Structure 1
Amino acid sequence: MTRLSVEMLAAEAPEPITSAGHAQLGIAVLAGIAVIVLLITKFKLHAFLALTIGSLALGAFAGAPLDKVITSFSAGLGSTVAGVGVLIALGAVLGKLLADSGGADQVVDTILAKAGGRSMPWAMVLIASVIGLPLFFEVGMVLLIPVVLMVAKRGNYSLMRIGIPALAGLSVMHGLVPPHPGPLVAIDAVKADLGVTLALGVLVAIPTVVISGPLFARYAARWVDVPVPERMLPPRASEEVERRPSFGATLTTVLLPVVLMLAKALVDIVIDDPENSVQRVFDVIGSPLIAMLAAVLVGIFTLGRPAGFTKGRLTEVTEKSLAPIAGILLIVGAGGGFKQTLIDSGVGQMILNISEDWSIPALLLGWLIAVAIRLATGSATVATVSAAGLVAPLAADMSTTHAALLVLAIGGGSLFFSHVNDAGFWLVKEYFGMSVGQTVKTWSVMETIISVVAGGMVLLLSLVI
């Protein structure tokens, strides 16, 4: 980014809510993030409350009037929830349909029936990646880990040899591929194109999941050899339904929103005429809202009907799917409020100037900021929304592809070294019956590999596209 472009952006930027200089703003940012970290880690406060208080603390340290800070936070929360809240809700409904109908089990069983021996870790990556597309990480883990344990037990496989690839598939999808909350929030913050980000996210995800999954699993299995914990082997959920959906119908439903969004991106590139009727049609059907809504409506017939779901049961599935995401929506919204407070305080412009003076590549800066916040808070979502807010001004002068790569750099950084302040760390530890040290050697190292490989792939792609 040239100095002229920085000056142009400064001229176009809205008047900040504080007149603080760079030094005071820098201290305010550190203080705001420190408050968030302290409240989450020391006082075990919910991330929504921590982000809200941290935003107010940021404004106070920056010397901004409290009423303007509240206005900025509220505006950021509202715009973020408006931009991604419906998509998160639709993704939750689709994921619940997939789980309760037995569709997920059908995909798992079909792939496992055709895999065995050395191909089993690769099958687990494929299963986790496909199933993980519409599911939140925690939901995907709860759904897949029992399958992993049963496969390891039944086939006498090393638990790490099977489990690490599944965890890698879920984690990579969670951090890099929309419609997961983190990537969606980053896309909204930096104004990136969702279709382009999705396409590049899949491109980055493939080598990342291969290296961090099946390849790393060979070493993880040597470092940690634990038996399958018998207490974690529950009955299969699909036994409760009349008939499971077919493999083809399930796969079509899961991939429908991805196909529609990718089709829109492809048509936009090929035609490149906003007035063209074909492009306008694809702009509608390939929009995230319509694509996800279409998948949910199709899923009612392809997943719910074969399972024998009545209208009442479908209503129940929808209600139960929405309740657990209330916390996620609040965290994402508060993250958006924190982002807007950063921007309105002038922190974004400060980051712009610093990156110009220090010649730090924007993609590397986004990755490093996300890494720092991830290590401090333990939350990939908090790291993503905070880092996206800090570096969003850098995307104003970027091409469509580089703005998408900035989203992926942030997403990759947000997965770095999960440790004891991350709920996912304890979830993996308990499901696999490992000690803290064993979890660090396997799960934490795997997350770090994902982060570093994804970051490296993003930087490599930035040189060639």
Structure 2
Amino acid sequence: MTAHAAPAWAAEAITSAGTGQLVVAAVLGIAVVVLLIAWAKWHPFLALILGAAALGIVAGAAPGDTITSFKAGVGSTVGSVGLLIALGAMIGALLAESGGADGIVGTIVRRVSGSALPWAMAGVAALIGLPLFFEVGVVLLVPIVLLVAQRTDVPLLKIGIPALAGLSVLHGLVPPHPGPLVAISSLGADLGLTLALGLICAIPTVIVSGPIFGTFIAKHVPLAVPAGALREATDADRAADGRVVDPTVSGPADGPDTDAALPAGRRFPGFWAAVLTVLVPVVLMLLRAVAELTLAEGHLRTAFEVAGDPVVALLAGLLLAMWTLGKRVGFDRVRTSSVIGGALPPIAGILLIVAAGGGFKQVLVDAGVGSVVADAAKSADLSPLLLGFLVAVGIRVATGSATVATITAAGIVAPLAATLDKPGVSLLALAIGCGSLFFSHVNDAGFWLVKEYFGMTVGQTIKTWSVMETIISVVGFGCVLLLDLVV
């Protein structure tokens, strides 16, 4: 790979400590974060702040310099990542509240049957997973999965695993989800190119970890629809204007896209209206990446670059969603505004974690830890992609947080981005994303969410969900390595 100019994050170190002291500082700083999250059960936001403080103290940096570095990292991260997370959450909220997500699911699922169901479920999960956070996607999809399993002879895990795989892969590899956005921001990667490469990796990863693994594990872990789970799920969601299929009706065709199930004046958005609304930001960002690779400097390329800027693309998607998933479904301006505003409180915790992680990352970089790691990697002739993947794996297994793993790994390997060309930096971001999904277990909130929804034991959850996450991580990273050979 060819080199390019050092990115903007390369700054003068805030300490003159030697290599040994910096290594100890980095290890202790990360240890503080891991112990506070995994042992003391502190919120990652506080753990990252104290971890950054410990890192700065041990590295010998002046307290004022450490604070300045931390605040600079918080500000730059919120400015580059926070805005995108907020816009994506608003689109996702309209998609969920209008019934657009259920309409997409219902339309696809009722048109396929039998052996095609796992593939359809994986595809629809990946589609609605583009704008929705993982937890929201699970809440929306699980009632559909339970319903389909109840009415057909398809084993629960055979369709449940593909749905979880589709959501998880998109969450870990494709912007505008927090993890990929943080890695892109920290490394200075091109968002459009990373999006394109992430989608390429996502397809085989979803196939292997979803329909293929789901079909295999369903034979070894027979699982029935938990008693009462379907009624509880639909009752909870029916409170929000009956957005989920009712199990008492005759079939999926009578479900989420039937206007009769809604209050007067409301209607469900059309299937294609919902799909196109979801895809507009993605298409705009992809067109920008294509234009930068194929068009010469000029007005046409500038137009694509502006339209495909992540903020502009997501804002365009949100404005379209306000019409297709707001006004056209019968929401008045007050209701639309309420739905959009209601998307922000649930992501406050994510934004705080991402912001504090940006501060922690900046202290790592400004202390010179990244440069030490970069020099060591060069001396050992270790691939930046492998290093990023392994660091993310270690933090993920220790803390259970994919976001913390992404932030920390990106901060450590950020200087290596200067040795890579543009596609290489994007692949490094994806390698970190793959590592951040490795082996979800009992310290991960997602583990317990899946366990409770599907009524599994801890052992069954490890055999199914944990193994699926590991397959996603390994297959995704293998795809990244293959792309590295050709781009």
Q: How much does 1:20 deviate?
A: 1.4
**Distance across 1 between alignment mates of 2:170 and 2:336:** 27
- Cα drift, residue 156 of structure 1: 3.1
Report the AA paired with residue 95 of structure 2. Answer: L
- Is the CA contact 1:133–1:177 (under 8 Å) kept in the aligned structure 2? yes
Q: Work out the CA distance in 1 between the residues paired with 2:21 and 2:36.
A: 22
Aligned to 1:453: 475
How far 1:352 sits from its partner (Å)? Answer: 1.0
1:193 partner amino acid:
D
* 1-structure distance, mates of 2:217, 2:76: 42
Q: Does the CA-based 8 Å contact 2:103-2:269 persist in structure 1?
A: yes
Q: Please point out which of 318, 321, 344 is paired with 1:322.
A: 344
| Mapping of residues 69-148 of structure 1, within 5 Å | 69-148=66-145
Are the equivalent residues in 2 in contact too, given 1:348–1:390 (CA < 8 A)?
Answer: yes
Determine which of 414, 421, 432 is the counterpart of 1:410: 432
* Structure 2 CA distance for aligned equivalents of residues 145 and 359 of structure 1: 45
Please tell me whether the aligned partners of residues 223 and 441 of structure 1 are also in contact (alpha carbons under 8 angstroms).
Answer: no
Number of the residue aligned with 1:350? 372
Structure-2 separation of matches of 1:13 and 1:383:
21
CA distance in 2, matches of 1:334, 1:272: 39
Kindly indicate whether residue 268 of structure 2 is the aligned counterpart of residue 244 of structure 1. yes
Is contact 2:360-2:408 (8 Å) kept?
Answer: yes
- Report the 3-state secondary structure (helix = DSSP H, G, I; strand = E; otherwise coil) of the residue aligned with 1:294: helix
Contact in 2 for aligned 1:75/1:337 (Cα 8 Å): yes
Shift of 1:306: 3.0
Shift in Å at residue 460 of structure 1?
1.2
Partners of 2:449 and 2:463 lie apart in 1 by 15
Of 365, 371, 391, which residue of structure 1 is paired with 2:387?
365
Q: CA RMSD in A?
A: 1.6
Which residue number in structure 2 is paired with residue 18 of structure 1? 15
Task: Compare 379-388 and 60-69 and name the one that shifted more.
Answer: 60-69
**1:294 lines up with 2:316 in the alignment:** yes
Instruction: Report which stretch shifted further, 125-134 or 136-145.
Output: 136-145
- After superposition, residues 47-446 of structure 1 pair within 5 angstroms as 47-233=44-230, 234-235=233-234, 236=238, 237-238=242-243, 239-240=261-262, 242-273=266-297, 276-446=298-468
Partner of 1:29: 26
What whole-Å deviation, never above 9, does each CA across 1:196-241 have from its counterpart, x for those lacking one? 1000000000001100000001221122112111332122542445
Q: Which stretch shifts more, 226-235 or 344-353?
A: 226-235
Q: 1:364 & 1:46 partners in 2: Cα distance? A: 29
State the Cα deviation string for residues 70-101 of structure 1 (Å, max 9, x = none). 11111001100000111111111111100110
- Give the secondary structure class of the aligned counterpart of 2:329: coil
Runs (5+) with no aligned partner, structure 2: 244-260
**Aligned partner letter, 1:356:** K
> What are the superposed Cα offsets for residues 140-182 of structure 1, whole Å, 9 maximum, x if unpaired?
1111111111111122321110100000000000000011111
- In structure 2, the partner of 1:463 is 485
Residues 232, 265 of structure 1: CA spacing in aligned structure 2 closer, same or farther, 3 A cutoff? same
- Indicate the larger mover: 233-242 or 43-52: 233-242
Structure 1, residues 80-139: CA drift from partner, whole Å, max 9, x if none? 000011111111111110011010111011101211000000000011000000011111
* Structure 1: runs of 5+ lacking an equivalent: none
**Matched pairs, number:** 459
Give 1 or 2: higher helix fraction: 1
Q: Could you tell me whether the CA contact under 8 Å between 2:94 and 2:326 is conserved in 1?
A: yes
* Amino acid of the structure 2 residue aligned with 1:248: W
Q: Which stretches of structure 1, 4 residues or more, deviate above 3 A after TM superposition?
A: none
* Alpha-carbon distance, 1:271 to partner: 0.8
CA distance in 2, matches of 1:226, 1:112: 21
Q: Which amino acid aligns with 2:185?
A: D
Q: Match of 1:78, as an amino acid?
A: G
The SS at the match of 1:230 is: coil
Q: TM-score, normalised by structure 1?
A: 0.96
Secondary structure of the 2:325 match is helix
Once the two structures are superposed, residues 343-370 of structure 1 have per-residue CA deviations (whole angstroms, 9 ceiling, x without a partner) of 0000011011001111100000000000
SS of equivalent to 1:417:
coil
How far off is 1:14 after superposition? 3.1
Which residue identity is paired with 1:416?
F
Question: 1:277 offset after TM fit, Å?
Answer: 0.2
The corresponding residue for 1:44 is 41
SS in structure 2 opposite 1:306?
helix
2:74–2:356 CA contact under 8 A, matched in 1: yes
Q: What is the CA–CA distance in structure 1 between the aligned matches of 2:6 and 2:14, rounded to whole Å?
A: 17
Q: Equivalent residue of 2:344, what SS?
A: helix
The answer to whether the Cα contact below 8 Å between 2:327 and 2:333 also exists between their aligned partners in 1 is: no
d(CA) in 1 for partners of 2:148 and 2:354?
35
Deviation of 1:459 (Å):
0.9
**Alpha-carbon distance, 1:13 to partner:** 4.8
